[in-house]
Structure 1
Amino acid sequence: MKRSLVLLVVVLLLAGAAVYQNRGKQEVALAASSDMKPKPGFTAPTLQLPNLSDQSMAIGGKRDKLLLINFWASWCGPCELEAPDMQDLSVKYGGLLELYGVNATSYDKERQAREFVDQQKLTFPILMDRDGKATDLYKVTSFPTSLLVDSEGIVRERITGVITKSKWEGLIEKWIDLNEREKVKK
């Protein structure tokens, strides 16, 4: 009899824990530990970086729009290939997307980075990672590396290397649509 009662109590506790854990079925963003890459489903690290005019700008965190963070370097051939696509995406989705180019200045030369921006005619904000904190915090080991971050500050996509502009458009439209639907619910 005691054994049956103990078994019943254990089953009820497990069932209660399962119900408690799954109540509302809301997605919970996990904070990435300092030794892992920010990846889909995890909160994007937040920090301030200077732009080309040395004004401080925030990356990560909650915001009104979807955020595309693109880590690049002036000596990176694939970065040069994707720069026109990044500019086109910035223009096309400007009202619905913030695009920040983060130059890995600690691995680059600032003068060359500024020349790259001029040559590519980039008009979206370019941030300078002079001390390498952003590159370290986002665990960027190759260029280009890009992250799509939703309005709640959660990483939705992490892309290493170059993808086609049409693939970018598909990803952006997918997450813009989800962002807009979430705003309507609130």
Structure 2
Amino acid sequence: MTKKKLLSAIAGLLVTTGIVVGVFLVFRFVLQSAPLETVMSEQYGNRMIDFELADMNGNTTRVSASSGKPKLINFWASWCPGCHDEAESLNRVYAKYKDEVEIISVNVTTEDTVEEAQAFLDAYDIQMPALLDEDGTVSAQYMITAIPTNFFVKRDGTIDKITYEITEAGAEAFIKELLDDNEDDES
């Protein structure tokens, strides 16, 4: 191969790589700013099911419809690409709203291992409570058929919205609706 052909091939590869990266960045920007789509569900308007699960340290946490706080309940597994995609967004949402909204993550441990779940939590420095659904009871009660799945629950304990993969902008929009709904209830 001549030097000219080699340089031409390298230039072509660089241009192609630039186009692919550009398309990816545009796609990510559009995806991050697009509103979340809700999942069709018969659960809307139903009262959430209270549950108790242990965290990574064996401490039990009770999640209750009657806590008086709106909630975001995130079901996830360490092997799930969408869970990796949403982890940093969930961290930012948790940091911003943890005092106003109960934000809980539930590892679907029947589809994962405790060790892999811990590695995931460490890799993304997850700060929100991470509970283990080791026997699958809570996942079954919430009819989880896809991972990730996110439940947005009103202060009165009723299920308002359900989504699959979450974006920061979409989650904030739904959380603001929950908080606005709470203000309307108080007036």
TM-score, normalising length from structure 1? 0.75
Three-state SS of the structure 2 residue aligned to 1:62 is helix
Give the structure 2 partner of residue 171 of structure 1: 174
In structure 1, runs of 5+ residues without a counterpart are 1-36
* Separation in structure 1 between the aligned mates of residue 55 and residue 97 of structure 2, nearest angstrom: 21
Letter of the 2:123 partner, please give it: Q
1:39, distance to aligned residue in structure 2 (A): 2.0
Letter of the 1:48 partner, please give it: E
Give the structure 2 partner of residue 100 of structure 1: 104
Contact 2:155 2:178 in 1 (8 A): no
Letter of the 2:58 partner, please give it: D
Three-state SS of the structure 1 residue aligned to 2:65 is coil
1:69, distance to aligned residue in structure 2 (A): 0.3
**Alpha-carbon displacement from aligned partner over 1:3-36 (angstroms, at most 9, x marks no partner):** xxxxxxxxxxxxxxxxxxxxxxxxxxxxxxxxxx
**Mapped pair 1:57 → 2:61:** yes
Give the structure 2 partner of residue 152 of structure 1: 156
Give the structure 1 partner of residue 183 of structure 2: 180
Moved over 4 A (4+): none
Three-state SS of the structure 2 residue aligned to 1:42 is coil
* Separation in structure 1 between the aligned mates of residue 145 and residue 64 of structure 2, nearest angstrom: 19
Give the alignment partner of residue 134 of structure 1, picking from 138, 144, 148: 138
Distance 1:92 1:38, change over 3 A: farther
**Alpha-carbon displacement from aligned partner over 1:104-125 (angstroms, at most 9, x marks no partner):** 0011011000010010000010
Number of matched pairs: 147
**Alpha-carbon displacement from aligned partner over 1:93-140 (angstroms, at most 9, x marks no partner):** 111111100000011011000010010000010000001001100000
In proportion to residue count, which structure has more helix?
Answer: 2
Letter of the 1:167 partner, please give it: G
| Greater relative contact order (Cα < 8 A, sep 6+) | 2
Contact 1:40 1:154 in 2 (8 A): yes
Contact 1:38 1:138 in 2 (8 A): no
* Separation in structure 1 between the aligned mates of residue 126 and residue 42 of structure 2, nearest angstrom: 26
Give the alignment partner of residue 83 of structure 1, picking from 69, 84, 87: 87
* Separation in structure 1 between the aligned mates of residue 51 and residue 68 of structure 2, nearest angstrom: 17
Contact 1:47 1:59 in 2 (8 A): yes
Three-state SS of the structure 2 residue aligned to 1:83 is helix
1:57, distance to aligned residue in structure 2 (A): 1.1
Contact 1:38 1:155 in 2 (8 A): no
Three-state SS of the structure 1 residue aligned to 2:139 is helix
**Mapped pair 1:39 → 2:43:** yes
1:51, distance to aligned residue in structure 2 (A): 1.3
TM-score, normalising length from structure 2? 0.75
Contact 1:85 1:165 in 2 (8 A): yes
In structure 2, runs of 5+ residues without a counterpart are 1-40
Three-state SS of the structure 2 residue aligned to 1:58 is strand
Q: Percent identity?
A: 29
1:61, distance to aligned residue in structure 2 (A): 1.5
Distance 1:38 1:113, change over 3 A: farther
